[in-house]
Each structure stands twice: as C-alpha cells, then as structure tokens.
Chain A
C-alpha cells in the first residue's frame, strides 16, 4: 500500500521564500507545517496567537498578500513567494500604528490574547474601507472572538484609527 506514494516514511520538505513584514525568510519546511507554526517557531515571531485551531476565533489572523487568513489552518508552503504581514509588522520602529495606538487609548483589550488577530482583521478592513460602517466592521471582524467582551472599545478604536489614517493619507 505504501508503494503508491514514494518514501511514505520520510518527511516531504519544500523550500520556501517568505516575505514577512518586509523581510525575507528562506528555509525548508515540511509540507504539513502550518503558517502559524512556521511564524512562531522558525521565524520567531510569537505575536500571532494559537487559539481554537478551527478557523473560528481569529487569534491567529495574519495577512497573506493583503488577505486575512487563519494561519492555524493555512499550510505554510502556500505562502511561498508571498507577502506575510503579522502584528509585529504594524508599528514603524517605536511608533505604534494608528490602530495599535487607538486600541491602547481605548482599552480595546483586557487579557489581550485576541488583540493581534483583532488588529490584523481591522487592518484588512481599513485597507478595503477607509471609513468603515459598523456593518462593514462586522463583515471583517465577526470572526474575531473576544471573550473579555471588548467589542464596543474595539469598534471605537477602529473608528478613531480610520479617522487618523484618513487625515494622514
């Protein structure tokens, strides 16, 4: 039975070149490795969180070529040659991104575990809608669960960040 697939006992590794937050990362990874594990263990960026591992909670949200995905269920080899943006890529040096600043100012986090995912989903939202309605916020963020229940503050923070970004553009 194992003859059909060559070398079943060996791991199928594949060479990938990722652009993570503007920096190139090259390496060989097993095909079954998720982008979440690759980012946390190999690229050593632990801002992206492991949550439900079922594409429901949004804690592991990162952007691949500008599109939000669940990195827990996205095979890392699929990101080969693509731009990956994680929460570590939002700030410019010591200067927080307007979304991060607005989240901090509004207390849009209590335990903070979901916050990296909330920020990445909000970032994708603002790329699509510079002045988002609450309905548009829901469309992008209803898959980002906050068990502390910070949703009103998150919504306020996003509105403030959107306004700040519109004036600087």
Chain B
C-alpha cells in the first residue's frame, strides 16, 4: 500500500512550475511513475503531493525540425522505440530505448522522467550524449536549454533546480556520413555497462568520432581524450589504441566493485562494448577488435 498523497494536474508547463514553487519539497513531479511509485512504495522517497505533468500537451509528440528530432519529455520509452522517425533518424536512441527494463516499464516510463531520475544504470543518457542532445527546461525564469553533458551531474543528480520541469529533449540527427551504434550487457533487466559511438569514416580513416560509456561511473561520460587519440587514425590501428585504453577508462569512469562485477571487469566490458559499437558505426564486420 502506498502512503496517501494528493495529485494535481496542471495544464501547462508554467502552471506546473508555479505549483512546484508553491508546494516546495512537499511535491514531486509525476511523469510516468515507473521509478517514482517504486521509491514511494519502498519508503525511499516521500511526497505529500504529486504534480502530474502527463496532461501537459507540449510534453507529448515527436517531431522533426531542421535536422533535429524534438521528443516530448512525457513520451514513453515504448512510443520512442516504436516511432518510425526515431528508428530511421536516431537508430542508436531507438535501440537504447528498446532495451530499458521490460515491456511494462517501457510502456509506463518516460524519457523526461528517466533523465530527471538520473539513475547511473540508465540507457538513454548514453545514447543522447553520442547524439549531442539538448534538454529543454521550464523554470522560474522561463524556458532554457541545457546540453545533456551539463544536465547529467552525478548519481541521482541533475543540473535541474527543484522547481524546474523538463519539457522536451532535442536530439540532432547525425550529419551525412556519420553512423551511430548502441551496445549494452545487462543483469536483472538493468544495464551493467553500455556504450554509444557515433563515427564517420573517410578513406579508411576515422574522420570524426564520439565515444560514450555509461553505467560504470556516477553518470554517462563522453571520452574526449580517447576520441582525440582515435581521430584521424586508420581503421586498422584503432583497435590497438582501444586495447591500450584501460588506464584512461579507469581514470575517467571511476569504477567500483559491486554485485554487477569487479571494477576491472567493468572496464574490460566497457572497452569491448566500445570496440563493438565503433565497429558497427564504422561498418567493420565483427567489430573493431584487436
């Protein structure tokens, strides 16, 4: 049984922000409820009032505008994984969304809710970092955009103010010639490690690359230094560079031993999944393995 609470249903983003300002820490934003209801049941989180943002029209819909896909924060994972526009233009995001939890969690959980919850073991942030997405936010001072790399702060921690609500996630489609790949391994319906790579190959060399690793550290992380090492390399040399990256990955991702595996295991798997993702993004059969 859940402890009693109230629910209010603001009709616009500014109204929702107004309610959050009025209610302060008595209130929590209710988007899909997939994580929130769980935490409330287990007594990890308490709220006297849920501010239901699901009925705000602008939090829904998926549209393309000038090479960017706008995804409403209240769109469910299931809607995203099955959306023809996302599948065609943002295949690595569709892949990540289709792996979340299970079919029921995907039906209930929303992309905005997932990002705001900021569970380190999440799939969307990893893919969104590879695409370079922006998170659109309504707050006290109106609307603003936060790059996903700034939005993600730490374990269950984002750049949001308490009264902010996420309205939309804007995901730029990759430029011509780029391809993306998402990879993960999982235990108990949650990712142990995931990676996302976007890359462009020209004349057998890496002409552009973005590497992202998730679930190992407190938040998904762009691996810019490793990107710089790979940039311009011949495809044949990339696997050697990746094979020598464990020290850098350990420094960047700060892995810990836990029930999902030892720190060294997670670094090993991260490197393997980076190789697989890079291989797929570069069109190399069997991945970029040493």
- The answer to whether B189 touches A31, judged by C-beta atoms less than 8 angstroms apart, is no
Q: Is the CB of B103 within 8 A of A140?
A: yes
A129 to B188 CA separation, bound complex (whole angstroms): 25
B269 at the A/B interface (Cβ < 8 Å)? Answer: no
B264 nearest CB across to chain A (Å) = 28
B-side interface residues, number (CB < 8 Å): 30
In the complex the two chains form, is B6's CB within 8 Å of A1's CB? no
Shortest Cβ distance from B40 into chain A, in angstroms?
Answer: 8
Query: Closest approach, in angstroms, between the C-beta of B177 and any C-beta of chain A?
Result: 30
B48 within 8 Å of A by Cβ? Answer: yes
Min CB–CB distance A100 → chain B (angstroms): 20
CB distance from B254 to the nearest CB of A (A): 28
Q: Is the CB of B102 within 8 A of A58?
A: yes
A138 CB, min distance to chain B CBs, angstroms: 10
Taking a contact as CB atoms closer than 8 A, the residue among A4, A69, A73 that contacts B23 in the complex is A4
Nearest CB of chain B from residue A61's CB, rounded to whole Å: 6
A17 at the interface (CB under 8 A from B): no
The listed residue (A31, A32, A34, A67) touching B78 by CB distance below 8 A is: A67
| Residues of chain B with a CB closer than 8 A to A111's CB | none
Given the interface contacts A69-B107, A139-B103, does A75 sit within 8 Å of B24 by beta carbon?
no
User: Is B101 in contact with A77, judged by CB distance below 8 angstroms?
Assistant: no
A143 touching B105, Cβ below 8 Å: yes
Q: How far is the CA of A12 from the CA of B8 in the complex (A)?
A: 10
Contact, CB under 8 Å: A73 / B4: no
B residues 1-50 in Cβ contact with A at 8 Å: 1-7, 22-24, 26, 33-34, 37-38, 41-42, 48-49
Do B104 and A69 touch (CB < 8 A)?
Answer: yes
- Please pick, from B4, B5, B33, B104, the residue contacting A143 in the complex, using a CB distance under 8 A: B104
Known contacts A5-B48, A73-B34, A31 near B6 by CB under 8 Å:
yes
Which residues of A sit under 8 angstroms from B108, Cβ to Cβ? 55, 69-70, 73-74
**Which residues 127-168 in A have Cβ within 8 Å of B in the complex?**
139-144
Residue of B nearest to A125 (CB): B103
Check if B38 sits within 8 Å of A124, measured CB to CB: no
Whether a CB of chain B sits under 8 angstroms from the CB of A8 is yes
**Do residues A55 and B6 form an inter-chain contact, with CB atoms below 8 A?**
no
Q: Are A30 and B188 in contact (CB under 8 A)?
A: no
Is B98's beta carbon under 8 Å from chain A? yes
Cα A55 to Cα B78 with chains together (Å): 15
Q: B1 near A124 (CB under 8 angstroms)? A: no
Asked, given contacts A30-B4, A37-B1, A67-B78, whether A54 binds B38 with beta carbons under 8 Å apart, the answer is yes
> From residue A30, how far is it (CB to closest CB) to chain B in Å?
6
Contacts of B78 in A (CB 8 A): 67
**How far does the alpha carbon of A68 sit from the alpha carbon of B108 in the complex, in Å?**
9
Q: In the complex, what distance in Å separates the CA atom of A68 from the CA atom of B188?
A: 19
Contact string, B185-197, partner A, CB cutoff 8 A, digits 1/0? 0001100000000
Assess the A4–B103 pair: CB atoms within 8 A.
no
Task: Rank and list the top 10 A-B pairs by shortest CB-CB distance, nearest first.
Answer: A143-B102, A32-B2, A70-B104, A73-B37, A31-B7, A67-B107, A12-B6, A140-B103, A69-B104, A5-B49
Chain B residues engaging chain A, CB cutoff 8 angstroms: 1-7, 22-24, 26, 33-34, 37-38, 41-42, 48-49, 78, 98, 101-105, 107-108, 188-189
What are 27 A-B pairs with beta-carbon distances under 8 A? Answer: A1-B26, A4-B23, A4-B24, A4-B26, A5-B23, A5-B48, A11-B4, A12-B6, A12-B7, A31-B5, A31-B6, A31-B7, A34-B2, A37-B1, A53-B41, A54-B42, A55-B38, A55-B102, A58-B104, A61-B104, A68-B103, A73-B33, A73-B41, A74-B33, A142-B189, A143-B104, A143-B189
Give 14 new A-B contacts, CB below 8 A, not counting A55-B34, A69-B107, A73-B37: A12-B4, A12-B6, A33-B2, A55-B38, A56-B189, A58-B102, A58-B104, A68-B104, A68-B107, A75-B7, A75-B37, A141-B103, A143-B101, A144-B102
